[in-house]
Structure 1
Amino acid sequence: MATTVTARAGDTLDELIWRTRALGPADLPAVIALNPGIADAGPRLAAGTIVTVPPAPATPATPTRDLIQLWD
């Protein structure tokens, strides 16, 4: 389910979606599609801009690695 988030002064779209929903660069096309005309606003969003974002991923945004223990 898509939700809305509000930009703070000076936010870029990628900063906003990372901070609020843990979405990364691969999610930007979906966010832009949900918000027609948002790219025309420029690189920085105005404070109070309402942005519709897709749901956060079920998996973490950063890959995880198995722990390797060298000594017992």
Structure 2
Amino acid sequence: MRVRALQGDTLDVLCHRHLGRTAGILEQVLALNPALAELGPLLPNGTPVTLPEPSQAAAEQQPLVQLWD
């Protein structure tokens, strides 16, 4: 899925807006967009970002680890 950053967007805000979560997604997005980290924390307005498909993002979610059970 290809989206464009809005003014003032960070990568986690962009992921949360389009995929509903950020846990485990940010790493996938950076792997799909290798030059994205060079742009800094605030993405320039209109920056194209490739996101994983929602079904792919859900399938690669790691299990939750709880320290005090």
- How high is the TM-score relative to the length of structure 1? 0.71
Percent of counterpart pairs with the same letter? 45
- What does residue 17 of structure 1 align with? 15
Structure 2 length-normalised TM = 0.74
C-alpha RMSD of matched pairs (Å): 1.3
Q: Which amino acid aligns with 1:37?
A: A
Taking the aligned partners of 1:10 and 1:48, their CA distance within structure 2 comes to: 10
User: What residue ranges of structure 2 are gaps of 5+ in the alignment?
Assistant: 60-69
**Counterpart of 2:27 in structure 1: which amino acid?**
P
Q: Which residue of 2 aligns with 1:66?
A: none
- The alpha carbon displacement at 1:23 in A equals 3.1
Unaligned runs of 5+ in 1: 59-72
Match of 2:26 in 1: 28
Bigger Rg, which one: 1
Cα distance between partner residues in 1 of 2:47 and 2:16: 16
